[in-house]
Structure 1
Amino acid sequence: MEELYVIIPVSKFKDAKTRLSPFLSQNERENLLKSMLKDVVGYLKNFIENILIVSNDEDVLIYAKELGAVPLKENENSDLNLGLKQSMEFLMDKCKKVLIIPSDIPLISHSNIKNIIDSSKSHDFIISPSRGGGTNSLIIKPLAIEMVFGDYSFFKHYKNAVKNDLNPIIYDSFFLSLDVNTIEDLGEILLHGKGTNTEKYLKSLDIKVDSIHGAERLKVFR
């Protein structure tokens, strides 16, 4: 039995990052998600060979194979949390713990992954928050708690861990907390994501960023 498997849930490419639709076309948003997923899988592959990508999109599952990951087709009428439950049921007899990571955190670093994996050797529940109160990484034993990804899931997962005496450990990192949802997030990638596939793709679209002093910290334009 393997010590650790990674689970990456991925939405349909055609539905990728709709909040960016005023700024990026559908095709650009699809390619953005592909770039981010390639970055995330690439970093993880340096530490963990076993990566499962779960989706109900055949195009995503084909791309998962291209990245060297194991594709898992979601059941009909599923959603994010049901897909994660299905993934953990699939992995129950294959690994001791799972690391759940979203597809849209291209700033994740080697040190982030190493620190989380090292901590998992002595802790059964490690959680990282997103900037908006979501969950951007989670290490647990399969099906140890119910998955409640969505609004403010960090607090819900943490509360459930405490309730089940799992002694939750928080791993907090700026780079790990940045999931890409807004135009300003694209600016953070341009500033901090040097050398990533995502940064290179944004530059290929001639997207630029300036620091400003106003209601928003960054001005992103093309």
Structure 2
Amino acid sequence: MRAVVPFDADRPKTRLADVLDERERSTLARAMLADVLAAVRAAGGEPTVLSTAPVDVDAPVRVDDRALTPAVNDALADAGPDRPVAVVMADLGLATGDALADLFDADGEVVIAPGRGGGTNALAVGHPEFRVDYHGLSYRDHRRIAEAAGASVSVVDSQRLSTDIDEPADLVELLLHADGRATAWLRDAGFELAVEDGRADVVRSR
């Protein structure tokens, strides 16, 4: 399956500014992107990075500096109706080939992997009229759009695909549940888990 992986190369992971400086956020974002590309390939996918600016990665890059919704919709339109295409966000630091294979192989002309808080972290689209809308509660909106287009819809409930790394607290998930480049970078940068009152947190030792 072809897979589009949107990536913000200009201002990545701004909500991590309390714990990472700009260079570190960029490095972590690129490490997660590499992990996601590896997971897409492990699931049998063919990834293309949809980036806001040129980026040096081991995959084809399509540069589009517009907002996420029109950029992804043009990519979907250009993909054509002959084969399905997936949209997988670049900050799914827990994604694995098995998790994405469940998405790619699920029944339905539109398969949705919801994110926490009502977002959409990944899609597999096999209906030519379906288009995305990432504003607001996009999971709900994508179900509505699919149903209006007459597309069958299914949902993949996956912890690995529902977890995007946006906030400092999300770094706990990377250290607990992942072992890719992003997790290795965090450890090399001095981040480690700390447990207090039964809750895990991330601290930086250096």
Q: Is TM (by shorter chain) over 0.5?
A: yes
Q: Give 1:167 deviation, angstroms.
A: 2.0
User: Does residue 79 of structure 2 align to residue 79 of structure 1?
Assistant: no
Q: Which of residues 3, 7, 23 in structure 2 aligns to 1:6?
A: 3
Q: Tell me the equivalent position of 2:109.
A: 124
Q: Tell me the equivalent position of 2:44.
A: 48
Q: Give 1:144 deviation, angstroms.
A: 2.4
User: Does residue 76 of structure 2 align to residue 88 of structure 1?
Assistant: yes
Q: Give 1:46 deviation, angstroms.
A: 2.1
Instruction: Write the distance in 2 (CA, Å) between the matches of 1:26 and 1:138.
Output: 29
- Output the TM-score relative to the length of structure 2: 0.91
Q: Tell me the equivalent position of 2:60.
A: 70
**CA 190–118 in structure 1, closer or farther in 2 if over 3 Å, else same:** same
Provide the identity percentage: 24
Q: Give 1:89 deviation, angstroms.
A: 2.5
Q: Is the 8 A contact 2:103 2:123 kept in 1?
A: no
Instruction: Write the distance in 1 (CA, Å) between the matches of 2:15 and 2:131.
Output: 28
Helix, strand or coil for the counterpart of 2:72? helix
Stretches of structure 2 that go unaligned for 5 or more consecutive residues are none
Q: Tell me the equivalent position of 1:102.
A: 89
- Output the TM-score relative to the length of structure 1: 0.85
Q: Is the 8 A contact 1:85 1:143 kept in 2?
A: no
Instruction: Write the distance in 2 (CA, Å) between the matches of 1:97 and 1:221.
Output: 42
Q: Give 1:143 deviation, angstroms.
A: 4.9
Instruction: Write the distance in 2 (CA, Å) between the matches of 1:15 and 1:143.
Output: 32
Q: Which of residues 180, 202, 205 in structure 2 aligns to 1:220?
A: 202
Q: Give 1:96 deviation, angstroms.
A: 1.4
Segment of structure 1 superposing worse, 127-136 or 143-152 = 143-152
Counterparts of 1:1-222 in structure 2, within 5 Å, are 4-12=1-9, 14-58=10-54, 60=55, 63-64=56-57, 67=58, 69-74=59-64, 78-92=66-80, 95-119=82-106, 122-141=107-126, 143-193=128-178, 195-213=179-197, 217-222=199-204
Q: Give 1:49 deviation, angstroms.
A: 4.8
Instruction: Write the distance in 2 (CA, Å) between the matches of 1:212 and 1:160.
Output: 44
Q: Give 1:145 deviation, angstroms.
A: 2.2
Stretches of structure 1 that go unaligned for 5 or more consecutive residues are none
| CA displacement 1:125-171 (0-9 Å, x = unmatched) | 10011112110111113652231113311111012212222121010
Instruction: Write the distance in 2 (CA, Å) between the matches of 1:52 and 1:142.
Output: 19
